[in-house]
Amino acid sequence: MKHSLSTVPGPLPSWRHPARVLALGALAVLTCSAAAAQSTPRNLLGVGAISVAEFEGSADQAVRPLLIGRLDLGRYGSLRLAGLSVQHNLMSDDSRWAFGPVLSMRAARDEDVEDTVVRRLREVDGTAEFGAFVEYGFRDTLSQGDRLSVGAEAKGGKGNQLALTASYQGAKRGAFQYSVDARAVWANDKYMDRYFSVDADNSTRSGLPTYVASGGLKSMGLGFTGTYDLNRQWSLIGRLGVTRLVGDASDSPIVQLRGDTNAASVGLAIGYRF
């Protein structure tokens, strides 16, 4: 029986040949991999430890977790990590403005503190502090690629605080980049009373004189962060800071008799870009 030429199967379309499909797939994978390798990572996550004052006004140090970095959330903005504080910036990278909610954690002042007198005071629980921040950035201020930012952060937990902030990030030079930041923090009566007052009961417990702390300017601080790239993905991040208590906070017997108005912090983290 003869078959019509029209019924004889012709060559399969090129996209149906397995070998060619594999070759095209491999080429696509290589192309995507090359593009990914050439793109600049948008995220940085640094994890480490930092030595800080055990509590505000303490003369003793404690080691706390240190988080530093930025996580891109696409159309939902980005997360900015600093210490145990997280800011959710709702604005895009192209905007000079940054604003959104902020969450930070404050350690407890309890029976684990080193100072035996402060240990007798009633325990002050650790707390989560919620609020919001706003920031405006100036680009290319002193050199191409740098950024100067000024802003404010308000948050509340066991009392309210308002911080005025300024930071300068220098342009990257080879594998090294740095930033310098400053802040002044105001606190209300509730906050100051919780952390710096000594009532009659606490005076009896500890032997410290009674003291009533009122709201006002609480502290001023300076910080320096340096990042050194080990390779394209990994980097070392160092953090140095100093904070000075002022006003009623510095005059508290907890600080004057058992602590220190000045507090230094030193931290180190390993960062990963992706």
Residue 13 has pLDDT above 90, yes or no: no
Give the whole-angstrom CA distance, residue 71 versus residue 248.
38
Two tokens, residue 105: 């954690």
Give the whole-angstrom CA distance, residue 255 versus residue 262.
10
**Smallest Cα–Cα separation from 50: which of 224, 228, 172?**
224
Q: How far is CA 157 from the centre of its chain?
A: 18
Residue 194 Rama label (left phi>0; alpha psi -120 to 50; beta): alpha
Domain ranges of the chain: 13-42, 43-273
φ and ψ at 206, to 5 degrees? -105, -25
43-273: CATH superfamily:
monomeric porin ompg (2.40.160.40)
- The dihedral sign for the CA sequence 14, 17, 23, 24: positive
What is the mean predicted confidence (pLDDT) over 236-253?
98
Confirm if 128 and 95 have CB atoms less than 8 A apart: no
Give the whole-angstrom CA distance, residue 38 versus residue 229.
17
Residue by residue, DSSP assigns 207-252 as: -PPPB---SEEEEEEEEEEEEEESSSSEEEEEEEEEEEE-HHHHHS
pTM above 0.75, yes or no: yes
Write the pLDDT tens digit of every residue in 149-191. Answer: 999 999 999 999 999 999 999 999 999 999 999 999 999 999 9
- Comparing 30 with 44, which gets the higher pLDDT? 44
